[in-house]
Each structure stands twice: as structure tokens, then as C-alpha cells.
Chain A
Amino acid sequence: MSKQLYKNTRILSGLIIRRDRVRIPVWLISLSALTIIVAAAFTDLYKNEGERQALADTMKNPAMTAMVGQGYGLENYTNGAMMAHQMLLFTLMAVAIMSILLVVRHTRADEEDGRIEMIRALPAGRLANLTSTILVLVGTNVLLALIVGFGLTALGIESMDLEGSLLYGAALGATGIVFTAITALFAQLSESSRGTIGFSITILLIAYLIRAIGDVSNEALSWLSPLGWVLGSEVFVNNYWSPILLTVSVAFILVVLSLYLNATRDLEAGFLPAKPGKKKASSFLLSPLGLAFRLQRTGLVAWAVGMLILGASYGSVLGDLESFFAGNDIMQNLVTPSEGFTLTEQFLTMLMSVISMICTIPPLMAMLKLKGEERKNRTDHLLSRSVSRIRLMGSYLLISIVCGFVMLSLAAIGLGAVGNSVMEEGIAFGRLYSAAMVYLPAIWIMIGLAVLLIGIAPKLSGLVWVYLAYSFFVVYLGGLLQLPEWMSRLSPYDHIPNLPVEELDYMKVVILTIIAIVTIAVGFIGYKKRDV
């Protein structure tokens, strides 16, 4: 019986590797190259202790803690400590996303598309597909851990010894493995691949936020988050291995649970109930716009709630930040205060650029949905009726643009409401809201790029994510790595005036908007002309 359940796992693992022979190496190479290059660059840039310590001092504030984690070894800020502090958390998030996407691709997505049915009708065990997916993902993550571990050691940086480097790698690998397990579980619970991705990413964001709030206010809370565990290994500072063990053990339990659920359920069924739909289409649904919205309603609502929470979480830090600045003279000197603005407001500008980038994700998903529908040949149903391509794409564009506005507004509202309730000297809501809204043209440019790619090179439309990741990279690390200015100028977010500290430069905003309009227009023309 038990042998039967896993029959042919080996062959199916081979199939997964065969299918992902490009995808997995690309992930592995990008993640390890990013880590190793940044480590080398940090060491190059911050050569002596004084420079590093000065940087550490600017990091010692609740806003940074919320963003990148508590930071261990801030008193003796070695290159290793700096690497673990600045880079580990975001790399963990990227590894988690890699694991989520790969697991869904080989479990629920394959099942939803009816491919697992073909496999299951052959002498392959009931659990063979899930098991082989998990095995391949564990292998990928272990490989990542080893490449990063030995790669960092090979740099020969004094504070990054073999043990610390391996632990750094292991932290990445363990996170990947635990999110493999979480996704495997949701692949059993949810009936769709979108649902599985949605739930797993939600868990990732919750893990991030819990850790953020915990790190700032109550350390015990951080231990509820897998990201908190992994950061608690204090890589390059104290090198604790037990959190890694804990993470992997939890992953193991989740894997057992998901295998159990998989063995008992029907193919293509889930455990979370999908409620019966309506018998008739509401009149709203009967337009391309209504349909496009209906298809992604649940996801968009979830993102909206998420953005509100995101804003609120960052808002909750503002109070701590304010009292922190009040009692800290060094800080007062370090960040040269601009005339008439509080330090909190200055931090707000950085917060806004990060928030606006996160708020770009749902509108991009909304726009790219058009391509997803096309790939499944579902746009044919509309285009073969009296719906023009312009109208079809226009519907998705409209949703995407409204979505960007709504997401940004909600994040700003969450930030303002919670922030002002915890600060003594609040920030006028109008000021805060316009500091958020000024980022809309950057979001439009990102949407415009998505439209352009869908219209001209639909196969490459994933590049818009790469561009967003790049923007995040240069804004987040540009200063630290002292990257040349042109590199950050390539990101639209960099050109947005930092309200309220900077003046609102209308010229810039108008130019950005015009660029967005032009890319959108070219995308529309391309879409009208190309094969669908």
C-alpha cells in the first residue's frame, strides 16, 4: 500500500527537472549571484569599521527595523553582520516566492489543467506527483544553500567564515523549504492555482508583517513568523543553527499533513469550499469590463485588504519612530533635517516609495491577466463576438489603473489613520495622501510597460516584473551600494518628487505621465495588429 502511493516518484521528478531545466537554474543563478555580488560590493564600499559603524547608526531606528529586521551585531557592524542585516530578509522573501511559484506550477496548476489526470491513470502512485515536486524543490533549495554558502566563503571576507556563510545559505534554503511545504498544503486545500498562489503569498506577507510589528514592539511576536525564526539565527553574529532546524521541522510536519490530505482527496477537488455561482449573469458581468473585473474580483479584494494592513503596519511604527528621534541626538545630527520637516516626515518619503512599489503589484497582475486569458484561448470567445480588441484591452487597462489608485489610497489611509493615532505630533492627512498619490505616474509607467509588452511582445510580458524588481533593487540598495546615479534614474520611481520634503515638480510629473500615455498607446496599436 505505502509503496504504491509513491510509485514512479523518481520518473516524475525527472519530468519536473526536464520541464524546469531553464527555470530552476535561472532562479538559482539570479539569487546566488545577487547575494554574492552584493556581499562583495559591501566589502568594497565599506572598508573600515568607522564607515560601517556610521551606517549602522543610521539603521538603528524603528522604521528600518520594521523594514529589514532587528539587525544583530549593530554594535560591531562587521561586513557579515551588515550583509545579514541588509540583505537576508529580502532574499528570504525572494526565495519564498520562487518556491511558491514552482510548487504551484507542478501541483495545482497541472492538476487544474488536467495533466495530472493523465499521470494518475498510469501506474503512478497517488502521492507520486506531490512527493516528486517536494523533492525537486527541496533539492533546489539545498543547492541554493550550498551555492550561496560556499560562494560567500569563497569571497574570503574576514567576517564571513565558512560556518556563517553556510548558515546564511541554510537560512535561504530553510525558508524555501518551509514555503514549499506551505504551498504544498494550500495546493491541497484550494481548488485553483490562483487560490493556492494567493493563500501562500498571503502567508508570506503576514509572516513579514508579524515579524515587522514584533521586531519593533514585542520580540515574542516575531517568533510566530517563519521569517522571524530564520532571522533569529543571527547569521555572521552568533550563528545559531537551531532556528534552521525548527524551520525545517515545521516544514516536515506540513509536508506530512499535505501528503495525508492528498492521499484522501479526489483529484481536482479541494477542501476549502467553492461556493456555487449565480445562475444568471448580472447585467454588470455582461460587458468585457464587467467580465474582466469579475474574473479577478476575489484577488483584488484580498490585495485591497492587504494594502490597508500594510499601510497600517507601517503606520504603527511611526509612533515609535517619533519618540525614538526625540530622544536621540546622534540621529538628529546624522540625518540633516530639512527646514520645517520632522525627521518622521523624511522617513515617510522612503516608506512611500516602497509602498508604491508594492502597490504596483496588483495593477500589474490585473493587466497581465489579459495575457493569461489569451494564453488559455479564452479571449477568443470575446473577440469573436462584437468586442473589439481596443475595448477588450481598454477594459483591463481601466481596471488596472483604478486598481493602482485604490491600492495606493488604501495603503495611505491605513498609514495615516494608524500613524496619526500613535504619533503625538501627527502629519496632516492631506500631506500624507498627496505624498502617496504623487507616485501614480510611476505606477502608470509600469502599467504602460505591461500594455506595451502585451501588445508587442506578449511572450516577454514577464519582463515587467523584472523591471519592478530592478526598481526595488535600486531604490533599496542604490544608496547602500553607492550605485552610479544613472542606474537609479532608470527606474520611474526615482523621478517622483519626494513629497512632502521636496517641492512638487509638476514638470516631472507631467513628463512621466506623457511617457506612460505613449507606451500605452503603442501597446494598443501593437495589440490591434498582432495575432491573438
Chain B
Amino acid sequence: MSVLKTTNLIKRFGEFTALDGVNIEVNEGEVYGFIGPNGAGKSTTIRILLGILKATDGEAKIFGLDAWEDAVDIHKRIAYVPGDVNLWPNLTGGEVIDLFVKLRGSNNKSSRREELIGKFDLDPSKKCRTYSKGNRQKVALISAFSSDADLYILDEPTSGLDPLMERVFQECVLEAKSAGKSIILSSHILSEVERLCDKVGIIRHGKIIETGTLNELRHLTRTSLVVETKQPLTGLNEISGVHGIEKKNHAFVFQVDAEELDNVIKHVSNFGILSLESAPPTLEDLFMRHYEGTGKTLKTGVGGAK
């Protein structure tokens, strides 16, 4: 069942088109990674979902309700963490957490609040004025994860967190996921997205250019291989789907399109394999491919070298 769905979302700021037909769908129990270069439109999409920006055109629905019209009802069941948390300088972190709980209504667990304050190692008695960026981020994370939301909307939630806290954050997300909650996570930390997300959407210039599970996306990209053979390896550059061939000492390093992998291995095995290492494409490879240039295929380097 879909928890969140946008259809042809368009947002213009004056002349400038920030979103140009964004389609996203997040199902129940799913963690959706939302990635894309700076200024691609991630935060804009999220702010439309939160009902704080009004879409120029298209539809944004959460729990089947309209994101703008029914914002209050939707917000009873969601939790939001922005990348840049701004708080009231003369309130303490604890007061802010309590304020958020109070605004949300009753579905908060106070034991959970204490647990999270401990886990994130936050001193809730300090004034927000004195908090570092990471500490302000923690205040938002604690109030989000201590609430009993059905959908978590996280826009670069870990910017400013140290690696230890980053890990606590990931635990929280996985916990929420195993409790059947849905999450939309925008992030520039691709390893985080890779670890947490079931599905990924890549946005660029206000358009979703790629979407699918990580496995599906991996198929769209290339595996890198490092091969050493008994006999000199030849004819590699005649096989389609082989890219970026380089020779390193005795070994060949190259990338292979997913669908050609079978052919290539067959070809290589004719030369007597001494060693073969393969690395699955990382999200980063995938990402680079889409971010660079106009989103065409990866630069093929000086393909065909021997």
C-alpha cells in the first residue's frame, strides 16, 4: 500500500522551475532514499510534502490525504527532521523536545525520550543558543524518533553528526523500519543510503531520472573486474559492454555492463584465469554516472587500451 505518492509535481519560483514533474511513491514499511546533486529539488519536494510550500501543479498525497489541504491531519502521523535545525536560542533542548511532543498530541513515549537522549548523548538542560550544529540536529532527531509516527521524512538528517551518532541514527532508522514504518530519506552520504534504503530515487534538475530498488539500479550500471590470466588477454575491446580498460602490472582492470557480464567471463576464461576480483557497483558509481554531464553513460575513458 502506498503511504506517500506524488504525481507530476511541479513547483515554480517565479520564472524558475524547481520541480518539473516529480513522481515518487513510497510504500508501507519501505525506506526510500532520495538522492541528487545540490539544488536538484530534494528539499523543495519534501517541503511540498510537508505542506509548507504549495505545489504549482500536480498532486502530493500522504496517507491518501492532500499534503497542503490536510496538512494538520497528516502531521499527526509523521515526523520531520531537516538538515539545518534552527531552535529558539533561549529555550533548552529539553524544553524544545517537550514542546514538539506537546504540539504533536499524545502519541509519544516518554521512556523512549529518555532512552534516546541517552543514546544520542545530548545534554537537554542547555540552552539552544549554546548547542553546536550536531547537537541541534540531535534535538530534532530525538523528538522525531521518540514519536510514534507512521512516516518519517528526513532531509539530510545526519549533516553535522559525528560517525558514532551517525551509527545511532542508522539504528533508529532500522528499528523504525522493522516496526513497519515508512521512511523517506534525502542524503548526500551514499553509504548511508545504501545501507538503509530499499528503494532509491535520483533527482536531477527537478526530475526523477532513475528510480528502483538498489538491485534494480545496480543492473543499470557496471561491475568492475580485476583479472589476471595465464595467457595474455586479448580481444577485450571487441566485446560490447566493456569499458575503461586499463592494464595494471599483470592484471587488467575494466568495467562491464551488467547484461554483458556473462559473455565477458566466458571470453576471459579462455585465457586461463589466475585471479579474478569483482566489485559490485557502489551507489557512488551509479550516482556519479548520473550526476556527471547530462546523465548519459559514464565516460568510457581511453577504452580499448592493451
* Contact surface of A with B, Cβ cutoff 8 Å: 1, 4, 7-8, 11-12, 15, 18-19, 113-115, 117-126, 264-267, 273
* Chain B residue at minimum C-beta to C-beta distance from A20: B90
10 A-B pairs with C-beta separation under 8 A: A11-B99, A114-B86, A117-B47, A117-B82, A118-B82, A118-B85, A120-B71, A124-B103, A266-B52, A267-B52
Give min CB distance, A184 to chain B, whole Å. Answer: 19
Contacts of A267 on B, CB cut-off 8 Å? 47, 52-53
Cβ A19 vs Cβ B88 within 8 A = yes
* Chain B residue at minimum C-beta to C-beta distance from A274: B14
Contacts of B51 on A, CB cut-off 8 Å? 120, 126
Cβ B52 vs Cβ A121 within 8 A = yes
Rank and list the top 5 A-B pairs by shortest CB-CB distance, nearest first: A121-B80, A114-B86, A267-B52, A123-B75, A4-B72
Q: Given contacts A115-B88, A267-B47, is CB(A126)–CB(B71) below 8 Å? A: yes
Interface of A is mostly: loop
Q: Mark B26-61, 1 if CB is under 8 A from A, else 0.
A: 000000000000000000000100111110000000
Cβ A18 vs Cβ B75 within 8 A = no
Give min CB distance, B16 to chain A, whole Å. Answer: 10
Cβ B85 vs Cβ A125 within 8 A = no
* Chain B residue at minimum C-beta to C-beta distance from A264: B54
Q: How far is the CA of A267 from the CA of B52 in the complex (A)?
A: 5
Contacts of A8 on B, CB cut-off 8 Å? 103
B284 contacts the other chain (CB 8 A): no
Cβ A123 vs Cβ B104 within 8 A = yes
The listed residue with most B CB atoms (<10 A of its CB), out of A120, A123, A124, A125, is A123
Cβ A122 vs Cβ B87 within 8 A = no
Q: How far is the CA of A7 from the CA of B90 in the complex (A)?
A: 24
Q: Given contacts A121-B75, A124-B72, A266-B54, is CB(A19)–CB(B90) below 8 Å? A: yes
Q: How far is the CA of A7 from the CA of B153 in the complex (A)?
A: 21
Q: Mark B68-109, 1 if CB is under 8 A from A, else 0.
A: 011111011010101011111011000100011011110000
Contacts of A265 on B, CB cut-off 8 Å? 54
* Chain B residue at minimum C-beta to C-beta distance from A121: B80
B233 contacts the other chain (CB 8 A): no
Contacts of B71 on A, CB cut-off 8 Å? 4, 120, 126
Cβ A114 vs Cβ B84 within 8 A = yes
Residue from B91, B95, B105, B153 in contact with A123 in the complex, judged by beta carbons closer than 8 Å: B105
Give min CB distance, A102 to chain B, whole Å. Answer: 15
Q: Given contacts A11-B103, A117-B52, A123-B103, is CB(A19)–CB(B91) below 8 Å? A: yes
Give min CB distance, B2 to chain A, whole Å. Answer: 21
Cβ B86 vs Cβ A119 within 8 A = no
Apart from the given pairs A7-B72, A118-B140, 15 other A-B contacts in the complex at a CB distance below 8 Å:
A4-B70, A4-B71, A11-B103, A15-B88, A18-B95, A113-B86, A117-B52, A118-B86, A120-B52, A121-B75, A121-B153, A123-B72, A123-B103, A124-B72, A266-B54
Cβ A122 vs Cβ B86 within 8 A = no
Contacts of A4 on B, CB cut-off 8 Å? 70-73
Q: How far is the CA of A20 from the CA of B38 in the complex (A)?
A: 38
Give min CB distance, A72 to chain B, whole Å. Answer: 44
Contacts of A266 on B, CB cut-off 8 Å? 52-54
Contacts of B50 on A, CB cut-off 8 Å? 120-121
Contacts of B105 on A, CB cut-off 8 Å? 123
Give min CB distance, A428 to chain B, whole Å. Answer: 53
Cβ A122 vs Cβ B82 within 8 A = no
Q: Given contacts A19-B90, A125-B72, A267-B52, is CB(A114)–CB(B103) below 8 Å? A: no
Number of residues of chain B lying within 8 A (CB) of chain A? 33
Give min CB distance, B42 to chain A, whole Å. Answer: 15
Cβ B104 vs Cβ A15 within 8 A = no
* Chain A residue at minimum C-beta to C-beta distance from B128: A115
Cβ A119 vs Cβ B69 within 8 A = no
Q: How far is the CA of A267 from the CA of B51 in the complex (A)?
A: 9
Give min CB distance, B135 to chain A, whole Å. Answer: 15
Cβ A119 vs Cβ B88 within 8 A = no
Contacts of A124 on B, CB cut-off 8 Å? 72, 75, 103
Q: How far is the CA of A265 from the CA of B68 in the complex (A)?
A: 11
Q: How far is the CA of A265 from the CA of B54 in the complex (A)?
A: 8
* Chain A residue at minimum C-beta to C-beta distance from B105: A123
Contacts of A11 on B, CB cut-off 8 Å? 99, 102-103
The listed residue with most A CB atoms (<10 A of its CB), out of B75, B76, B82, B95, is B75
Q: Mark B271-300, 1 if CB is under 8 A from A, else 0.
A: 000000000000000000000000000000
Contacts of B100 on A, CB cut-off 8 Å? 118, 122
Give min CB distance, A30 to chain B, whole Å. Answer: 20
Contacts of B140 on A, CB cut-off 8 Å? 118
Cβ B82 vs Cβ A114 within 8 A = yes
Contacts of B52 on A, CB cut-off 8 Å? 117, 120-121, 266-267
Give min CB distance, A123 to chain B, whole Å. Answer: 4
Contacts of B47 on A, CB cut-off 8 Å? 117, 267
Contacts of B99 on A, CB cut-off 8 Å? 11, 15
* Chain B residue at minimum C-beta to C-beta distance from A21: B90
Contacts of B86 on A, CB cut-off 8 Å? 113-115, 117-118
* Chain B residue at minimum C-beta to C-beta distance from A1: B69
Q: How far is the CA of A7 from the CA of B75 in the complex (A)?
A: 11
Contacts of B95 on A, CB cut-off 8 Å? 18
Contacts of B70 on A, CB cut-off 8 Å? 4
Q: How far is the CA of A340 from the CA of B186 in the complex (A)?
A: 79
Q: How far is the CA of A128 from the CA of B76 in the complex (A)?
A: 15
Q: How far is the CA of A114 from the CA of B43 in the complex (A)?
A: 13
Q: How far is the CA of A19 from the CA of B153 in the complex (A)?
A: 28
Q: How far is the CA of A36 from the CA of B52 in the complex (A)?
A: 46
Contacts of B90 on A, CB cut-off 8 Å? 19
Contacts of A273 on B, CB cut-off 8 Å? 14
* Chain A residue at minimum C-beta to C-beta distance from B53: A266
The listed residue with most B CB atoms (<10 A of its CB), out of A8, A19, A121, A266, is A121
Cβ B75 vs Cβ A122 within 8 A = yes
Give min CB distance, A277 to chain B, whole Å. Answer: 14
Contacts of B102 on A, CB cut-off 8 Å? 11
* Chain A residue at minimum C-beta to C-beta distance from B75: A123
* Chain A residue at minimum C-beta to C-beta distance from B102: A11
Q: How far is the CA of A119 from the CA of B153 in the complex (A)?
A: 14
Give min CB distance, A109 to chain B, whole Å. Answer: 11
Contacts of A115 on B, CB cut-off 8 Å? 86-88
Q: How far is the CA of A126 from the CA of B153 in the complex (A)?
A: 19
The listed residue with most A CB atoms (<10 A of its CB), out of B14, B50, B70, B86, is B86
Q: How far is the CA of A267 from the CA of B105 in the complex (A)?
A: 23
* Chain A residue at minimum C-beta to C-beta distance from B50: A121
Q: How far is the CA of A266 from the CA of B80 in the complex (A)?
A: 18
Q: How far is the CA of A264 from the CA of B78 in the complex (A)?
A: 23
Q: How far is the CA of A136 from the CA of B239 in the complex (A)?
A: 75
Q: How far is the CA of A126 from the CA of B52 in the complex (A)?
A: 8
* Chain A residue at minimum C-beta to C-beta distance from B47: A267
Q: How far is the CA of A19 from the CA of B95 in the complex (A)?
A: 11
Q: Given contacts A4-B70, A115-B88, is CB(A123)–CB(B82) below 8 Å? A: no
Give min CB distance, A399 to chain B, whole Å. Answer: 27
* Chain A residue at minimum C-beta to C-beta distance from B139: A118
Contacts of B91 on A, CB cut-off 8 Å? 18-19
* Chain A residue at minimum C-beta to C-beta distance from B140: A118
Q: How far is the CA of A284 from the CA of B78 in the complex (A)?
A: 48
Give min CB distance, B145 to chain A, whole Å. Answer: 14
Q: How far is the CA of A120 from the CA of B74 in the complex (A)?
A: 11
